């Protein structure tokens, strides 16, 4: 599977999957991201809300864990493709995340 996509999986720095509390801060290729624990596993997003840069660490999962909502002005984004739901035109970067033991691996979601 991984060979089919542009981006290879990368181990996330700064987060231990066993001890972390989610949403967790992590770093992907030097960029701050946030990892959410969803019903189906894990999903990552960029750290800063594209609206006014509030931290997505305070983001709330909603719609059966298919969306994430910034608490500051409730801009809500789809975890599948990062598109703004109630804020057309705004978009957040999303990452596929999987776990092996203590390590989380991520890559930008194919959209």
Partner 1 sequence: MTAKQETTVLKGAHVIDPANGIDQVTDIMIHEGRIAGVGEHIIADDATVVDLTGKYLSPGWIDMHVHAYGTLGFADPDTVGVYQGVTSFVEAGGPGIGTLDEFFALMTDLETDLYVGPFIRPLGLLGLNFIEGDVRTLGDVPITRWVDTAKQHRDRIRYIKCNAMGDYGPGTLHVTKGLAQILGVPLYMHIGEFQLQTPDPVLAYEAFKIAEKGDMITHIYHGNLGQIIDDEGKIMPVVTDALERGVLFDLGFGGYNFSWDIAEKAFAQGIVPYTISSDLQQFNVIRPVQSLANVLSVMMHLGMPLKQLIECVTVNSAKAISLADRAGDLSVGKPADITVFEIEGGRFELMDCYTQTRTADKRVMPAMTFKNGKRFDADMTRGQAESNWFLQIAEDHIPDATAQLSERQLAFLGKLGTALSETDWELSSAERLDIPKALELQALFHRVREQSDLPLREALRAVYDSFVDNKFTMQIGLFLMRLERPFALSRMAEMAAKRPHLAA
Cα 98-26-3 angle, rounded to 5 deg: 40
Using DSSP's 3-state secondary structure scheme, residue 81 falls into coil
CB of 31 to partner 1, least distance (A): 19
Number of residues that bind partner 1 (CB under 8 A): 16
Window 70 to 89, contacts with partner 1 (CB under 8 A): 71-76, 85-89
The binder of 85, among ligand FES, partner 1, none, by C-beta within 5 to 8 A per type, is partner 1
The binder of 70, among partner 1, ligand FES, none, by C-beta within 5 to 8 A per type, is ligand FES
Give CA separation, 31 vs 19, 66, 87, in Å.
Answer: 21, 23, 24
Using DSSP's 3-state secondary structure scheme, residue 90 falls into coil
Contact with partner 1 (CB under 8 A): which of 32, 48, 55, 90?
A: 90
Q: How many CB atoms lie within 10 A of CB 1?
A: 5
Residues that bind partner 1 (CB under 8 A): 50-52, 71-76, 85-91
């Amino acid at each position: 599977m991984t060979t089919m996509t542009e981006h290879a999986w990368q181990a996330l720095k700064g987060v231990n999957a066993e001890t972390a509390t989610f949403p967790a801060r992590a770093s992907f290729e030097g960029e701050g991201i946030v990892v959410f624990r969803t019903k189906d596993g894990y999903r990552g997003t960029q750290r800063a809300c594209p609206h006014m840069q509030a931290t997505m660490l305070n983001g709330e999962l909603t719609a059966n864990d298919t969306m994430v909502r910034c608490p500051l002005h409730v801009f809500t984004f789809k975890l599948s493709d990062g598109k703004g739901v109630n804020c057309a035109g705004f978009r957040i970067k999303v990452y596929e995340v999987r776990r092996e033991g203590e390590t989380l691996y991520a890559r930008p979601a194919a959209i």
